Structure 1
Amino acid sequence: MKTKTIAAVLPLALALSACTTVEPAYKDIGARSGACIEGGPDSVAQKFYDLRLEQGSTTLPDSNRLAQLQPYLSQPLYQELLGANQKAAPQTGAGALFTGNAEGATSASVASASSIPNTDAKNIPLRVQLSYKKDGDSSAKEWQNEVLMVREGTCWVVDDIRYLNVPQHAASGTLRQVLEHD
């Protein structure tokens, strides 16, 4: 009698234990070697744009500036930028690489990621409101881009930038497409 009860309960117990096991949405979030910037995807993206604006250059970053940007960039994107740095600068105007506008940007504001419900997400696209205003000019050019943030290990990093409604004569497509074509 006891053996029959155990034999009947054991499969049921195993089935129930399988139902209560919680698996994350992803098993491997990749590895990251090197420095990591603290924060969620939106704060890391904002810090990236703040640093890029602080650097002030609209040219393709040299190796020193790329080294400063490395903690903010995915490993594949960083390698593509290093490769572009060793070749001639992309023809679209290097300011366009990170902003989509050949003149660059004078301000950037990254949208909050707080409304994204999936905390297990491996990649998150975020809108970035950009503007460019010349000194002494009363009007500013404004446009949006979308920055793709991905996880490498426990770090959020920039993996690509999609140029959305950029000003005329600016880059179109994505940052990676610009790097690929040059």
Structure 2
Amino acid sequence: MQSIIWLVDRLNLVLTYLIGLLLAVMTFAVLTQVLVRFVLTAAGVNISAAWTEEVARYVLIWIVFLGAGIGCRRRQLISLEFVVRWLPPLPGQGLVHAGLLLCLGFFGLLISVGLAFMELGAVETSPVMQIPKAWVYAAMPAGASLMILNTAVLIAETLLQRRDIRTVADAAEGVE
């Protein structure tokens, strides 16, 4: 099991660098859009860079879904913690595990819906760049698959190491 945890953590590291690269691409697209729309127009140069809006939007979609997948590994997604932290250890941890099992079901639903969107996107293209929308819609099942993988590894790791799952996010941030 430790080797699977290690592999998932390495995958997440690679994806973190990929997200950084995607963030740089999005930043470049937005900066180009601002320069073309405001700076060059103010200078009397009227050119169009319609691709920048699509690139920024589609890259942001991928960043969100990949980042959510990585966030599941350390329980760093937004949640209300005051009830589970107020409860004694056993019921509090049980409630967190129950919530994570519900999340796994929801992530499975996201995969199903994302695959259906991809089928529609196979015949639909983006307005400016003319790329198949299936590439954009693929972010949902890819991200949801990562969410399932990382949530399952989180649950397995905390059970195997007998750690309090409620403090995983604190340990990731160095708060413990």
TM-score using structure 1 length = 0.20
Q: Going by fraction, where is strand more abundant, 1 or 2?
A: 1
- Greater radius of gyration (CA): 1
